[in-house]
Structures are given as C-alpha cells and as structure tokens.
A and B are shown apart, each in its own frame.
Chain A
C-alpha cells in the first residue's frame, strides 16, 4: 500500500516453512475460534457481547510471530485474536467467555479482558487508547531491567484520537522505549468512518510528530505485516526505540454483536472479503510450493479439534464460587 512513509522499513527474507505453516495455523485458529464463539453466543451459551476479530487475523498473527514469551502484548476490547496469537491457551479463553472458574481470568474478566500474564499478555484493556501509556510502562520496565524484552501495543484507528495515545507515544519516543505501536485501521471506529475523524490519510503519518519511524502496511497480507513488524521489533529490541505501524484491514463482522452494519455498503464488504487474509495466504502457500493443500487440510482439522476441545473444556468446567466475587481485589 502506501509506501511513501516507510522510512526505515524494508522487506527481509521469508520465514522458514514451519513458521509459515504456524502462521497459517494461528490465523485459521483465530478465524474458527471467532466463528465458533459467535455461534455459541447466538445459542445463548456465552453471556456477553463479543467484538469479533474476523478479517483482521493477519495483523495479530504477523506481528506476534516475531515475539518471544517474555515480550508483552497489550490488547483492546477486541482481544481474542491478540491473545491467541501470543499463545494464551484457546481453552482458557473459551472458558473465560463461558464465565468459568478455569478461564484465563477465572471468570472475572470476560471477553473484553482476556489475557494471561504468564505468556506476556496483560488483561485486555477495553477503554480505547488506555493501553498505550501502559505499554510504554512495560517497555520502560524492560529497558530499566535490561531484559531485552519488547512490548507490542495493539489498538484501533479510533484510539489514535484519544489523549492517552498521544501521551504514550511521546513518552515512548523521548526515552527510546522498546515498544511497537500497532494500529489496526479497520476504517471504522464503531460506526464512525475514518475520514470523519481524521484530516490526514493515515494514522501512521503521525509518526513524525513524535520522532519515530512509521509504516503503513496491507494488514490483510500476513507476510507484509510479519516483515514490517519484524524490523520494528528488532529496532525495539536493540534499543533504537519505538515504531508506529498502521495495518490497513477490515472487520468483516459488526463492531459488536448488536451491530447491523447499516453504515457501510455491501459492495465495500464484498470488496474486502475478496482480500480475506486467510484464503489469500493459503493460496500463496500452495502456489509458491511452501505447503501442500493436504498439509493445510490437516492443519485445519487439527484446529477444529482444538476448538472442540476448548468448548468441551469450557462446558465441563465449574462456574466460579459466588464467594470468589470478594477475592483478588487486593494482594494480601
């Protein structure tokens, strides 16, 4: 896409075959996890609203494929994909959506707060933009502790007009903090189109206002995301400071479960479905001889088993004890 503001990003070598297949696996896992949670919600088995990640899988997957366990991810109200891509167990997320004691937040977080600090995912923060200064904080800690750890902060285009976003980016820039800011520009902040909230064409144009590199990338091209993120994460890890990456993408579903999407056209939706990141990557893998179709079929079947097992686990898990409501407020 727009390459004019990619000052320090260049493409690099392809990941090896196993990583390519893992990238496919993760994207497909997120897709099927979200489709399944949608069905479970319709059946009344998930007591919540849902903000589905369908259509944006290439962003979380392409970025997180570059991360290590000790790296941090900060997420949003649309967090399932980020958690899955960073390695939170699918069954722990599913159990959380069911409100079970075995959930990744013991049933205290729910859909909008999933995460698992053991694999570096903070509980997702559902106040738009609020995770940006906190991401600067985890990055500050990594810098002070000299761990070499990197923080990735995901947010939507809407977050870029929050004050917290500006304060967080500026702080990260002035101290060269090891953090990568990843904007998932899905063109709408809830129902509000991007163009009604921005005088500029791209969020990433703001990179120069903070003195950090910026890049716009096709967020439905997982390898493009992977390469841009790889370079930014390496910059962060080597102490060169933060980067602002904007991934152009599209949420195929509504903002939340109660959204009829009447503010956008079917033509636009169809156009973006043609650019669906998963069939696109699958086709590429086969055509480039990176994976045989049969191998990918097998991966898909494994994912289906994983999802089934996650549902079974969530179903069989106990609800929290009502008395648990009083626990975990303070560390004693």
Chain B
C-alpha cells in the first residue's frame, strides 16, 4: 500500500491508463502547459512531460468544444479523459453532454459507442455562486450518462480507471475540498484525506456502493464531502448510544440500490445527505426508491439534509449555513429516533 491524496490517485490512474492504452488522452483547459496548473486542481500536473502535448491536449476556453471533441474522438475510436476546471462549466457544454453524448448510442440503435470520461470538480469553497455547485443530480436525470463521485483516494483511482475502460460516457465528480492538492492550488479548509492505495493494479467497479461504517439504528447515505460530515456525525452520535450505518454510494448511475435497501431493512431509518440544493436532488430519488421498495421496513419518515434552495453564497458565515454541517446531520438523525 502507498499513501496518497485523491489528486495523486487520479493522476496515477491517468498515467497508468495512458501507458496501458495509446487511445487514452486528456483534453481540457490549462492541463499541460509548462509552468501551468496541471488542471485547476493539479490532477494532470507533470503528465505532459511524459506523454507530450498531443496526448495532454490544452484547449482554448471552449467548453462546448472540449465536450464535442471528446465525443467525436470517442466515436472514432479514442478514449478521451476530458477535464473542466469547475463543474459549473458543464452547463456551458450541456447540449453536448445531454443531447449528444448521452443519446448518440441509443439513437443509432446501439451501433456506436461514446467511451469518454468527463471529470468535474464540485463543492462550495468560498468562490461564490458560479464555482460552487454540486451537479451530480442534473446528470443522473439524463439516460445514457454514468455518474460517479469518488470520496477516497482508493476509489478515485479505481473508479477513474474503470471509467476509462467503460464504453459509455462517464462523468466523474470530484470534490474540491477532498483533492489534497498542494502548493498554490491547495484549498483553505480542505480535508485532504490521504488514503491507502495498493501498489498493484486494481479497479473499482462502477455501480457498487460501500458501507463506510456499520451500524444498526439509522442509515445515512452520503457522497463526497458529505460522506466525511456524515462519518463525523456518526462518531458524535455513537457517543450518545446511536449506531449509525454510513453508506457511500460511490456511483449514482447506476445506483447500488440493493446496498441501500438492505441497510434500510436492517435499520428502519434513513437520512440522505448531499451538498446539492434540496429540490429534486439525487437524494429525493433515493428517498422515492426506499419509500417504494422498502416502505414496510421504515420505522420513521425519510429525512434529507441538503443545501437550501438558494445559490451558493460567498461570505464564510453564509457558506457555512449553506453547506450541510455535521450538526444538521445529527439533528436530522435525532429527529427520527
């Protein structure tokens, strides 16, 4: 095992896949410029030295083109890993993702594939409303896209490698406060979780969640930064005699429904935590699934903890109110005991 940050794990995944398969290349803004950033959060730092600028391809500020180039290259036999600096910029390329990448295979009658990866940082980090959103839910609503949100270095590497080998468009949402990026690109208030990553090759399958902490009283489903807040809340609640089971879905499409249903059958209580705005988030979908398929196992209403239905604010005091806190998670759990 080797200890590394998520940024390092993602970089290692890219390096291994590019060495393994010459069809794999990276495309995005500021990803390979000498003396540049290595992407907004250092993930591609140094890769152009090994692979050259033809395979670490710096683009103009043209998000629609980044997506279109990735789609076209993927249809024509390449394996692009595209990069947007902030997830919010995905809206600039929404037609390419929602109308093209997601639908080309289906509307061709399954005669072609779009094996592309789109990596996007999410999360509120004192940058105001346009560099802050958690966007996973938007993309779970579009059939034809896979949606992944790794919260540990182990998963980041294993899921990115699986995404590169997947024959479908895969969106990978990464949290800015979890990268552990160093130097000028380090984030204030970041958790920088350093994880253990095997030295030998491994993959994490897309579509499998994981139990991060076992418990018998309440199930919490949480991804990305919220996973860590949920684990913190579970620790606090444990000292009050409440045993919380924390599930990291890791992948939202396809969703590991059985893992969640199985946990709810055991605990009878469910809290879902997401950093996205409350209304129609992916948490709402999980709540609906559980209400539909595990209703008789529920001993209490399902609770959602999410950002309120307002844009992400700037001032630290406002942002702290906006992003779900450990205390809000604890309150939600206690309200259904």
Binding site for B on A (CB under 8 A): 72, 103-109, 113, 115-118, 122-123, 125, 127, 130, 132-142, 144-145, 151, 163-164, 167-168, 170-171, 174, 327-331
What's the minimum C-beta distance from B215 to chain A, rounded to whole angstroms? Answer: 33
* Central interface residue in A107, A117, A139, A167, by most chain B CB within 10 Å: A167
Q: Are A133 and B68 in contact (CB under 8 A)?
A: yes
Q: Does B107 contact A (CB under 8 A)?
A: yes
Is A145 in contact with B168, judged by CB distance below 8 angstroms? no
Among residues of B, the one whose C-beta sits closest to the C-beta of A166 is: B62
Cβ A141 vs Cβ B60 within 8 A? no
Cα-based distance from A167 to B80 in the complex (angstroms): 18
Q: How far is the CB of A15 from chain B (nearest CB, A)?
A: 28
> When the two chains form their complex, are residues A107 and B111 in contact, meaning their CB atoms are under 8 A apart?
no
Are A105's CB and B107's CB within 8 A? Answer: yes
Please report the total number of B residues contacting A with Cβ < 8 Å.
39
- B70 in complex: contacting residue of A105, A116, A118, A137, CB < 8 Å: A137
Give the A-binding residues of B (Cβ under 8 A).
25, 54-55, 59-60, 62, 64-65, 67-78, 95-96, 99-100, 104-113, 143-144, 146, 167-168
- Quick one: given A117-B112, A141-B78, A144-B73, are A109 and B60 in contact (CB under 8 Å)? no
Rounded to whole Å, the gap between the CB of B29 and the closest CB of chain A is 12
Tell me, in angstroms, the Cα distance from A277 to B81 when the chains sit together: 45
Q: How many A-B residue pairs have CB under 8 A?
A: 144
Q: How far is the CB of A35 from chain B (nearest CB, A)?
A: 26
On whether A164 and B68 interact (CB within 8 A), knowing A72-B76, A122-B104, the answer reads yes
Q: Name the CB-closest residue of B to A123.
A: B108
Q: Are the CB atoms of A167 and B100 closer together than 8 Å? A: no
CA distance A92 to B146 in the complex (A): 31
Contact among B55, B76, B143 with A137 in the assembled complex (CB-CB below 8 Å): B76
Q: Is the CB of A125 within 8 A of B143?
A: no
- Contact pick for B65, options A103, A109, A136, CB 8 Å: A136
Pick the residue among B67, B77, B109, B144 that contacts A105 (CB under 8 A): B109
Q: Tell me whether A117 and B75 are in contact (CB under 8 A).
A: yes
Residue pair A140, B109 in contact (C-beta under 8 Å): no
Contact indicator B99/A145 (Cβ below 8 Å): no
CA gap between A135 and B168 in the complex, in Å: 19
Is the CB–CB distance between A105 and B73 below 8 Å? no
> 21 A-B Cβ contacts within 8 A?
A72-B76, A108-B108, A123-B104, A123-B112, A133-B67, A133-B68, A136-B68, A137-B75, A141-B76, A142-B76, A145-B78, A164-B65, A167-B60, A170-B65, A171-B59, A171-B62, A328-B105, A330-B144, A330-B146, A331-B105, A331-B167
